[in-house]
Amino acid sequence: MTTHNELPSMRESLLDIAGKKIFVAETGDGPPVLLLHGGGPGASGVANYSRNIAALAKEYRVIVPDLPGYGRSTKGVDGADPFGCLADGIRGVLDQLGLDKAHFVGNSYGGACALRLALDTPDRVDRMVLMGPGGIGTTRALPTPGLSNLLNFYSGDGPSRPKLEKFIRDYLVFNAADVPDSVIDARYQDSIDPEVVADPPLRRPSGPNALRTVLKMDFTRDKRLSRLPVPTLVLWGAADKVNRPSGGPMLADRMPNCDLYMVANTGHWVQFERAQLFNRLCADFLAGRR
């Protein structure tokens, strides 16, 4: 079993996309797969997939960007259309790497990015794995306690390590003891980057067009979803406190080629909490073995 500190050496590059930089790390050979991380404070690509990269790289060319607004990528996300902004940036990564299409794996905010990219340009997406993706039924219920906690990180008395630890241990995962202090320390340091504090990449829509933005950010209101041909595997932690597990059946009901796997005793971070299961399901699904 690969533990979270057995990462392979990775090639790193800073790609120029429409005047902004997107950081990318990659390793392995084979069909390309992009791993898109979630949107919590201090999130970044390699850290979010630390328990998965080595396993997937045995069979795939694993490409791990920092989403726009995060990590070593240029800060700032278009608040009027966050998912579209992320999708445009990641489509630019495909262009820069000379890839006509690739597999996509997306957790939370990264899942919303992958889904939006697939809806806008389905020919660029081969197969897709979504873990507790954002934007599923979000206008049909009040925000979850986990999402509210996440959105409040930079407000009130501002960011703090105790705030981040509470979010990760109480809301992100099912078993708080599964997350080492070192993971929280590293994420906290990234979360207080002055550029991020000044312009957080994940925030509540506001302003005169807020309602339009909110509606656009709920994929269950997008008529294209029921026509999306991309073979998709949805993995959802049954104890997810950030994005409601009911989103899984919503996607399976609407998407024509969607497999759904509900993961027991697991929170929002399936790829971290249940790494062995995730790595096996993901590798097999992307290869068309299931």
In this structure, what token pair is assigned to residue 90? 């990641």
**Sheet holding 32-36: strands in order across?**
11-17, 20-27, 61-65, 32-36, 102-107, 125-131, 232-237, 258-263
CA dist 125 and 102 (Å) reads: 5
Please pick, among 4, 37, 103, 268, the residue that the annotation labels catalytic: 268
CA dist 139 and 80 (Å) reads: 16
DSSP states along 70-127? STTSPP---TTSHHHHHHHHHHHHHHHTT-S-EEEEEETHHHHHHHHHHHH-GGGEEE
CB 64 within 8 A of CB 10: yes
Range 216-235 burial, b when 16+ CB lie within 10 A, else e: bbebbebeebeebebbbbbb
CB 29 within 8 A of CB 65: no
37 part of the active site: no
> What residues are annotated to the active site?
268
